[in-house]
Structure 1
């Protein structure tokens, strides 16, 4: 039996991580900071400087900002927050943009009032928005997570001092997490303690996946999978997750429930589990528990990787999803652990080259790989300690992936950014 303290800790992780967000999380975070800065400035800025870490540039450059009429870029995200953004809505900050707001965004884009500069930082998720009007200047820093303020100031006076790049790490310490405890929590927790974020995840992520399957978004990866692969449950698990990304990366305004700061990861970890549960006809409570298992397994992996890196996060999310499937199938701890290990050993090297339409294809590949890993595990087959990055235990393998992604892939991340900005 888990202690009450451990149960509360895991429940809080779900509450904190499974947030509602519109569009790709990085441009929305930029819009959030800009909207907050506009409120502090008290008027529209005459010019803006956005100092962004490489990972922010990478994840905003090629993705459509929702509610802007198909526009992309950091400059667009900044101006969307300034013209019509409501900072009180956090990651739904630009949900209510009007035609008048869109016209002003285009006008200021043409005028070039926003300048983007590379921020050299030890943090992957780090940016500072500076807004200027007359003699006034406001600076808003976001660091470590998408809604976490670092230093906020107006005319040199510090208004808020949160986590800073000089004193803090890249996020909450989740080193206490272990797969055995996640499984125990999933089975023991009072479902009412975890119901709210998971119910939101089902509703939001299913809705955007259906939009991706029925409307023309992105490269139509989800629709293509359904057209060529049919309506088997295994194909639908891939197609639903991919379709959600088709829509989200191309500017669909429907919100999603994120996982580890990412909507793509939130959809990848949840939609295969939802599809599989529907095929089995399990109770709604069992679906909620399976989603609990899936989300926590994904968050566990990302704890040592960080919110942003050169390691494609949908790999962690797809691996989490098969842990949810394993819960529904009532397989043993050993099979669950082997499924996770198999998935990570197979596709653990997929790189993140920013948010864009091809994320949907990567999601489909990650889910396919994770499903293969699970099928192998059910046959008691898999990859063992000493084979590449595989450790003696599943927890060691997850730690090895975290080390590779957070430390080993730093140069990969830098080179990807150089390619993307033409250097």
Structure 2
């Protein structure tokens, strides 16, 4: 292995390790709960009152989703109060996984008393939470920004106790080194022992919540609806497995998932279609791992241009990446996988994100369906012509174009969605 390839190899392992982490519930309310639990830890007792200052994307993604272990509560205030009262900050994005029934009931009483309020912050990045509170003579604040579990600052009684404004690339990996060709090379060459633990957890957790979504009545039951309307073909199984996990997760299911690009829905979407397809064709465990490496990294690669939160629905990039993983299982080469990306993004790139909620499952199903159509076209040598719309002369430039559209072009859309949702 050359020095250049060794750099890529180690960097890609860091990216996978930092991205594929467990979380319980939608990651935006969980990030609020995590910050609130840390606030209580800093104060040494339950805050008497809290203010949660959030970017618009945080508010948008918390408004419509059920907070796990809350008894059906939704919203910023519910997440903050449950996190502060019953959360364990050491568990980070599984912060409220150990809430007892008594704690849930007590937290609900505090919620009804109105001890927390939410404020919109407009001059910060899309993923921003600053929760402040007081207890007795003490006051403190905890800030999260950039990623859902990145504490950027802790202040107590006016003194900065902790500060790390920037996310350290050396620890989490440099995503600027990602590209489709090297991702495929890495997937071919990676030692399975280096990724087995990460991927075993993704397979176990995400398969469990998918099965939960299919076997019980969660959300709008998109996964079940697919079976009822389309039968039990392989194509249906692939879509339904991903959609059903979101059905459960968006409606407050307390099972953990392994996330991708800061999102549990994206983590489910990049993994379940690949897992289902691998089982159907009898692929061995090693090939499944390598295909999951492809799907996870191609999803991260697309999202790094867009950002963790925007008006661009992350199901699109995740669904596209999942089908790239399926194609890898079939032995597809670089150009087929590149054409899948172009064909899928040229079709459904730009589906809007109007917050985390039950309809995310339907958007996941649509994104995976678009990916499957893109693959059928690609393996027959068909692709949208270079130069049409955002489709460019090479695969990487197309990914960059879509990223620019999602990050910059959809800013006004993002703002208008938020205004509609909060009644401005």
Q: Report the TM range for the smaller structure's normalisation.
A: over 0.9
Flag structure 1 segments of 5+ consecutive residues without an equivalent: none
For 2:62 and 2:221, how far apart are their aligned partners in 1?
21
For 1:173 and 1:135, how far apart are their aligned partners in 2?
43
Following TM superposition, by how much is the alpha carbon of 1:332 offset from its aligned partner in structure 2, in angstroms?
A: 1.8
Secondary structure of 2:86's match?
Answer: coil
Equivalent of residue 97 in structure 1, options 99, 105, 119 = 99
Q: Does 1:17 align with 2:19?
A: yes
The answer (yes or no) to whether the contact 1:64–1:249 under 8 Å persists in 2 is yes
Q: How does 1:299-310 map to 2 (within 5 A)?
A: 299-310=300-311
Secondary structure of 1:294's match?
Answer: helix
What is the aligned-residue RMSD (CA, Å)?
1.5
Q: Deviations over 1:305-333 (max 9, x none)?
A: 11000000010000110110111010121
Q: How does 1:122-141 map to 2 (within 5 A)?
A: 122-141=124-143
Following TM superposition, by how much is the alpha carbon of 1:349 offset from its aligned partner in structure 2, in angstroms?
A: 1.2
Q: Does 1:274 align with 2:275?
A: yes
Secondary structure of 2:51's match?
Answer: strand
For 1:174 and 1:11, how far apart are their aligned partners in 2?
11
Q: How does 1:233-382 map to 2 (within 5 A)?
A: 233-382=234-383
Equivalent residue for 1:406?
407
Equivalent residue for 1:121?
123
Secondary structure of 1:196's match?
Answer: helix
The answer (yes or no) to whether the contact 2:344–2:374 under 8 Å persists in 1 is yes
Following TM superposition, by how much is the alpha carbon of 1:121 offset from its aligned partner in structure 2, in angstroms?
A: 2.8
Equivalent residue for 1:46?
48
For 2:27 and 2:94, how far apart are their aligned partners in 1?
10
The answer (yes or no) to whether the contact 2:14–2:173 under 8 Å persists in 1 is no
For 1:253 and 1:385, how far apart are their aligned partners in 2?
45
Following TM superposition, by how much is the alpha carbon of 1:172 offset from its aligned partner in structure 2, in angstroms?
A: 6.9
Equivalent residue for 1:222?
223
Flag structure 2 segments of 5+ consecutive residues without an equivalent: none
TM-score scaled by structure 1? 0.97
Following TM superposition, by how much is the alpha carbon of 1:151 offset from its aligned partner in structure 2, in angstroms?
A: 1.5
For 1:335 and 1:387, how far apart are their aligned partners in 2?
19
The answer (yes or no) to whether the contact 1:322–1:340 under 8 Å persists in 2 is no
The answer (yes or no) to whether the contact 2:15–2:175 under 8 Å persists in 1 is no
Runs of 4+ aligned structure 1 residues displaced above 3 Å come to: none
The answer (yes or no) to whether the contact 1:173–1:303 under 8 Å persists in 2 is no
Q: Deviations over 1:108-137 (max 9, x none)?
A: 111111010011233100010001112211
Q: Deviations over 1:135-179 (max 9, x none)?
A: 2111000000001011211001111111169x99xx975222110
